[in-house]
Amino acid sequence: MLSKLLFRNQDKKQLVIAIVGAFMGITFLVTSIHYLIKVNEFGEGADILGPNTIIVQKKVSSSSTLRLTKTDFSEREIQTIKQEKFIADVQPVISNNFDVSFETADPMVPRFRSDVFIQTLDPEFLDVKSSKWHWEEGDEFVPIILPRDFLVMLNTFMSAQGIPQVSDELAMDIKFKFTLSNETGKEWVDARIIGFTNEVASILVPESFMTYGNDKYAKGKDQLITQVMISGKESEFGLVEELLTKRGLESKNSQMVVGRLKSMVGTLFLVVLGISIIAVFVSGLVLIQYMQLLMSRNAYEVRTLLRIGYHPKTIIRQFFVYFVKVFGIVSALALLIFFLFKYFLDNMFASGGLYIDTGLSYQSIGALIVAYGIFTYSSYSSAKKGIFKEY
Amino acid sequence: MKIIFDHIMPEPLASIAHSAESIWGNHIEFNPGEKILLNASSGKGKSTFTMTSFGLRRDYRGTVTYDGRDIKTFTPDEWALIRQEKISVVFQDLQLFPSLTVAENLEIKNELSKVYSERELREMLDLLGIGDKWDQKCGLLSMGQQQRLAIIRALSQPFELLIMDEPFSHLDEENSQKCLTLIHKRCDEQNAGFVLTTLGDSHNTHFDKELKL
């Protein structure tokens, strides 16, 4: 009876406009947050470097070959790059300053030996479990991350020897050893592969092992920094790329393409997210205004109900529940459309070769809950204010 | 419930001269179960009395108390309870819902305390000669029919005091008497009192006390 009295003669046009606005706003809000997160997560865990991180070196030119220009980084150059607003961090890649060779040390595998180049990366930039990535003097073996190209080369060697090739998992069970040496001494240290990388061309070792080797077997001359790791800020990869061009730096092309793509798509979804937030806010505001209009049109009815004994809370509940239900239905429909969008977009990405994670991002559902919570609170306080005005 | 008007002077009436026996500016007590005729000419504040004693106006000097407590201290919870169970009012402008039917106007009030069944509500409408209007929109009734509906609505709750602000102004003598019979019966059933404001007509009915404005 109360509903019949208070919700008759509504101006449905305004209500429909607000509902359509809220529906579209929520749909795009949930969708954009979901894909913003998924795009940022894209590529994470696939390799050892963290998101938005690349390894760069100076471009080698004829003048650098003739030693007219330097190919190493000075401390000042590193600090200058670090000061750019779009750069999150810059760290040098430390290389060995001693002779080191790498060989198989497993009776099940034929002997393979090669002089190698080893490097270490700041643990902050590495996406590997820290418990595995640790070495100290006296440990049974040193953990290493092997360039995948190195494994391909090893398998080519195996194949030539008529021995079956090894998979990633099997390679991680093979025993290897390093030989560290200089003019006066030599030492053997066992090694085990704990991961592979497509992004770094050298064998990666923990920082403590590199320090140990450089301290004990260094050749005496200063160590040069020829590569640095640069971590760019979210969605600002384009600026990192500009910096590289400006400073005559280069990186692996695949790293650049992924970074550029993520940056562009991320920016696009950020714009959509901004528009969605505005749309949800405006439509919520229109719904609240509609509620106020409805209460103002029913001022006589509200006043009379209060005079004949109705509790203000009972009348507040009528308006509040009605609008929370409307927003709830709109949110449920928007969620349904989001799932349909998601189904089609995931398939579209997959058919284009972009296998992004198809799991649901809880942040997008969280955003919906937050929007619903804000609307619920606003509609309650608005209804309370409107009813007590007639009290 | 004992109501005391302790030197009440509504602000809009402060500039008007009031007689020595007027409610305004004096100490007046309304005892439980008392039937009171409040007689005054137009513009003396009969509706102001109704609104003030029902807590709808607060623009006055002095103190109104219910059982010793200043009504300005009541919370919305307490007012809702008072309006549901202690005091019922027939407003001068009736305060009905024109878009609802007669039945719905009664049900919306009866829902609060469920005093009457539909059959009893229909019987009361019959008694007052508007039994055939059950499904008719209230807004289509004549003023006299609406007054009778407003009286039945006011009776559709438990109360200790019934305040009626010129409730028979559009009724003939016969219908006024029918209404008064029903009002007396309902008051006696609950040991309740009433305050009936009039423009000088005593309506040939029994009352315990007459007050003036």
Q: What is the pLDDT of residues B151-160, one digit of tens each?
A: 999 999 999 9
Structure tokens given for A314: 């009972």
Residues of A in contact with B153 (CB under 8 A): 308
Residues of B in contact with A307 (CB under 8 A): 54, 56, 83, 89, 91, 95
Cβ contact (<8 Å) for A307 and B56? yes
A217 and A288 assigned to the same domain: no
* Higher per-residue pLDDT: A161 or B76: B76
A10 and A31 assigned to the same domain: yes
CATH of the domain at B70: 3.40.50.300
Q: Is A311 on the interface with B (CB under 8 A)?
A: yes
Residue B205 has pLDDT above 90, yes or no: no
State how far the alpha carbon of B10 is from the alpha carbons of A262, B3, B47, B60, B61, in Å: 73, 17, 11, 4, 6
| DSSP codes joined into one string, A72-118 | SPPHHHHHHHHTSTTEEEEEEPEE-SSEEEEEE--TTS---EEE--E
- Given CA atoms B39, B41, B45, B50 in this order, what sign does their dihedral have? positive
Note the Cα B183 to chain centre separation in Å: 11
Strand partners, A193: A144
**Average per-residue pLDDT in chain B?**
92
Alpha helices per DSSP H over B94-166:
102-113, 118-127, 143-155
* Higher per-residue pLDDT: A134 or B27: B27
- pTM score, whole prediction: 0.65
Considering only residues 35 to 74 of chain B, which have any Cβ-Cβ distance to chain A shorter than 8 Å? 54, 56
Partner-chain residue, chosen from B56, B84, B97, that has the shortest CB–CB distance to A309: B84
* pLDDT the model gives residue A42: 66
Q: Is A299 on the interface with B (CB under 8 A)?
A: no
- Residue pair A378/A286 in contact (Cβ under 8 Å)? The answer is no
Segment A161-172 shows an average pLDDT of: 80
Q: Is A301 on the interface with B (CB under 8 A)?
A: yes
* pLDDT the model gives residue A260: 66
Structure tokens given for A118: 């080893």
Segment B95-117 shows an average pLDDT of: 92
> B108: pLDDT confidence band, cut at 50, 70 and 90?
very high
* Higher per-residue pLDDT: B162 or A79: B162
Structure tokens given for B33: 């179960």
* pLDDT the model gives residue A47: 54
* pLDDT the model gives residue A332: 92
Cβ contact (<8 Å) for A312 and B112? no
Q: A180: domain range?
A: 53-251
Residue A275 lies in a domain: yes
**Pairing mode of beta strands A99-104, A176-181:** antiparallel
CA gap A45, A151 in Å, rounded: 20
Cβ contact (<8 Å) for A5 and B112? no
CA gap A297, A300 in Å, rounded: 8
Q: Residue A182's CB: how many other CB atoms inside 10 A?
A: 16
* pLDDT the model gives residue B44: 83
* HSE-up (13 A, CA, CB side) for residue A50: 16
* pLDDT the model gives residue B4: 94
* pLDDT the model gives residue A169: 81
Closest residue, chain B, to A314 (C-alpha): B80
Q: How far is A373 from chain B (nearest CA, A)?
A: 27
> Quick one: which of A232, A194, A205 has its CA closest to A117?
A205
Q: How far is A3 from chain B (nearest CA, A)?
A: 11
A370 and A322 assigned to the same domain: yes
Q: Is B99 on the interface with A (CB under 8 A)?
A: yes
A61 and A156 assigned to the same domain: yes
Residue A331 lies in a domain: yes
* Higher per-residue pLDDT: B48 or A68: B48
Q: B144: domain range?
A: 3-212
Judged by DSSP in three states, B99 sits in coil
Structure tokens given for B59: 């623009």
CA gap A98, A246 in Å, rounded: 33
Cβ contact (<8 Å) for A309 and B111? no
Cβ contact (<8 Å) for B95 and A312? no
Q: How many residues in chain B? A: 213
pLDDT in tens, B164-182: 999 998 989 899 999 999 9
> A122: pLDDT confidence band, cut at 50, 70 and 90?
confident
CA gap A383, A292 in Å, rounded: 7
CA gap A135, A141 in Å, rounded: 8
A105 and A221 assigned to the same domain: yes
Judged by DSSP in three states, A32 sits in helix
Q: Is A5 on the interface with B (CB under 8 A)?
A: yes
A306 and A172 assigned to the same domain: no
A293 and A177 assigned to the same domain: no
Q: Is A170 on the interface with B (CB under 8 A)?
A: no
* HSE-up (13 A, CA, CB side) for residue A218: 13
Q: How far is A308 from chain B (nearest CA, A)?
A: 6
| DSSP codes joined into one string, A254-296 | HHHHHHHHHHHHHHHHHHHHHHHHHHHHHHHHHHHHHHHHHHH
- Residue pair B81/B123 in contact (Cβ under 8 Å)? The answer is no
Residue A48 lies in a domain: no
Cβ contact (<8 Å) for A304 and B95? yes
Residue A137 lies in a domain: yes
* HSE-up (13 A, CA, CB side) for residue A12: 2
Residue A336 lies in a domain: yes
Residues of B in contact with A5 (CB under 8 A): 97, 99-100, 104, 108
Cβ contact (<8 Å) for A307 and B54? yes
How many domains is chain B built from? 1
* pLDDT the model gives residue A306: 93
* pLDDT the model gives residue A63: 65
A247 and A338 assigned to the same domain: no
Segment B42-63 shows an average pLDDT of: 91
In chain A, what's the furthest Cα-to-Cα distance?
105
Cβ contact (<8 Å) for B112 and A309? yes
Residue A203 lies in a domain: yes
How many domains is chain A built from? 2
Give Cβ neighbours of residue A76 (< 8 Å, ≥ 6 apart). Answer: none
Segment A168-184 shows an average pLDDT of: 86
A278 and A344 assigned to the same domain: yes
Q: How far is B83 from chain A (nearest CA, A)?
A: 5
A245 and A293 assigned to the same domain: no
Q: Is B111 on the interface with A (CB under 8 A)?
A: yes
pLDDT in tens, A202-256: 888 998 898 888 888 887 666 778 888 888 776 676 777 788 888 888 876 555 6
> A186: pLDDT confidence band, cut at 50, 70 and 90?
confident
State how far the alpha carbon of A164 is from the alpha carbons of A112, A154, A175, A265, in Å: 15, 11, 17, 43
* pLDDT the model gives residue B140: 94
Q: How far is A337 from chain B (nearest CA, A)?
A: 40
Domain boundary among A219, A251, A283: A251
How much is the ipTM here?
Answer: 0.92
A100 and A26 assigned to the same domain: no
A141 and A108 assigned to the same domain: yes
